Amino acid sequence: MKRAFPILAVLTAALLSYGLYAALIVAPTERTMGDVQRIFYYHVPSAWTAFTLFFLNLVASIVYLIRRNPKADALALAAAEVGVVFCTVVLVTGPIWARPVWGIWWTWDLRLTLTLVLWLIYVSYLMLRRFSSSGQTPVMAAVLAIFGALDVPLVYFSIWFFRTQHPQPVIGGGGSIDPRMWQVLMINWAAFSCFAGLVCWSRYHLEVVSREVEETQALESLLEAGSSR
Amino acid sequence: MSSGITRATLAKDLRLEWRSKDAINSMLFFALLVVVIFSFSFDPTAEESRRIAGGLVWVAFLFAAVVALNQTWARELRNQVLDAYRVSPAPANSLFLAKALGNFIFVTVLEALMTPLFMVFYNLRALGPAYQLLIVAALGTWALVVNGTFFAAMSVRTRSREIMLPLLLFPVSIPALLAMVEATSSILTGEFSARFWIVLLAAYDVVFTVASLFLFELVLQAE
């Protein structure tokens, strides 16, 4: 596994740089929005990556609750942390794109609100992990992840109704997408997924190793206390 | 689940509260402060206040409820009562149900006392079907209290107890809060039907009551 890491890193770097080149040069300019639309190639793949990571966090949390495997908990933590970073990228690039196109920074649209609520839930998840004493953290965090997942459909329906009752925001309708744009989007999505996987993997290993170190230190201090007596 | 344990714990909590009045007093004064501060920071006309009152009322109740919810389990830390619960063979979810029902009663009392005050300060009168406000209040209070009691059991085990509860409770409560506020505003203005929001609140209550009853054992026994 360790040998695969540099290979994946090189692949990710290549994909990311090609993705940037494709997004800025290869992809055709959008007719009405102009060059600002190119943020799309970063915004959308980040969103997909963030949602994938949150889903991974949910699965790892459930696995942890059933099997009580500390590695599942470490994976849940890594996925949540990296997911929050990608979700932040989505929430920052969104308004930058919205301002010149819709004329507003933010609107309480279905997808925007859902992303924001997910971000809030996962930030509270990370806060809980930070503030609880180490022994109980994994169980409580896993339970909170399940509560967050149960909340998603309810948020969806509430915002959906909230918005159908109030005036609809100015949003680009469905419409089809240029196949070249689609291609660039897919390249960027692959690059972002690889990047997220890479970061997640190193974070996971870091977590596992730091827990091993903590355990060893605790054991050593126990032994010392025992021998000095 | 055992209804005997639920009843005994609920009776104990109500008796404790009746003698000390800790939760209800702090909640009442807190809600009163929120009402007064909101009232002169907005100073709305009758027409405006009808539209914003739903939001104000529920935000005030939410903040006040957090005060009581924080005391739910903190009270059991003294004399290691919480540890006694954990070693006792009593099912965890009947204990949870008793605590949630107790909080429901406290917050309902608060609402019953504060609502007249709101109507006086904001000059409120419902233009829609007023009896629906009772349904919204009952469902909305349960929505706050069921998750609040659950997350309070989590936050009481963290380092900064009192701060942690709202941080956990508010994000998950967003759809419930939106439903309560919108339902109340629809009924007060009489412009829309509140039916969808009431159904959504009921669904929220069912989902999180079931989840809490199933998962509470894990939280109580977390080591």
Report the percentage of chain A scoring pLDDT > 70: 92
* Rounded Cα–Cα distance for residues A85 and A99 (Å): 22
pLDDT given at position A217: 92
pLDDT for the residue numbered A229? 63
Distance CA(A17)–CA(A23), nearest Å, equals 10
Closest-CA residue of A relative to B163 is A131
Q: Cβ–Cβ of A139/B218 closer than 8 Å?
A: yes
Which residues from B are below 8 Å from A162, CB to CB?
A: 178, 182
Nearest to B65 by CA among B121, B20, B114: B114
B59 is written with which tokens? Answer: 């935000």
Q: What is the dihedral of CA A21, A22, A26, A30, to 10 degrees?
A: -110
Instruction: Tell me if chain A has a CB within 8 Å of the CB of B154.
Output: yes
**A30: pLDDT strictly greater than 80:** no
Structure tokens at B191: 């412009």
If pLDDT is split at 50, 70 and 90, which confidence band does A169 have?
very low
pLDDT for position B152: 92
Report d(CA A101, CA A32) in Å as an integer: 9
Contact A142, A73 (CB under 8 A): yes
List chain A residues with CB under 8 Å of B54: none
Give the tens place of pLDDT for each residue, A93-110. Answer: 988 888 888 888 887 777
| Across A40-49, B37-46, B187-196, least confident range | B37-46
**Is pLDDT above 90 for A60?**
yes
Residue B16: Cβ within 10 Å count: 14
Q: What is the ipTM of this complex?
A: 0.85
Average pLDDT, integer, range A159-170:
61
Q: Residue B174 corresponds to which tokens in the numbers above?
A: 């967003």
Distance from C-alpha of B190 to C-alpha of B114, rounded to nearest angstrom: 22
Task: List Cβ neighbours of B192 (8 Å cut-off, separation of 6 or more).
Answer: A165, B186
Q: Are A151 and B174 within 8 A, CB to CB?
A: yes
CB contact under 8 A, A117 and B171: yes
Report residue B143's pLDDT band, with 50, 70 and 90 as the boundaries.
very high
Q: Which of A117, A140, A144 sits opposite B174 (nearest CB)?
A: A117
Collect all residues of chain A within an 8 Å Cβ-Cβ radius of residue B215: 143, 146
**pTM (two decimals):** 0.87
Do A151 and B182 lie within an 8 Å CB cutoff?
no
Q: Of the candidates A102, A45, A54, which has an alpha carbon nearest to the alpha carbon of residue A76?
A: A54
Residue type, A95: P
Name the closest residue on chain B to residue A116, using Cα atoms: B171
Q: Which residues contact B90 (CB under 8 A, 6 or more apart)?
A: B2, B5
3-state DSSP helix/strand/coil percent for chain A, to nearest 5? 85, 0, 15
Chain segment A74-86, per-residue pLDDT in tens: 999 999 999 999 9
Q: What is the pLDDT of residue B101?
A: 94
What's the confidence (pLDDT) of residue A79? 94
Q: Which of B99, B109, B104 is nearest to B6 (CA)?
A: B99
Partner A contacted by B178 (CB < 8 A): yes
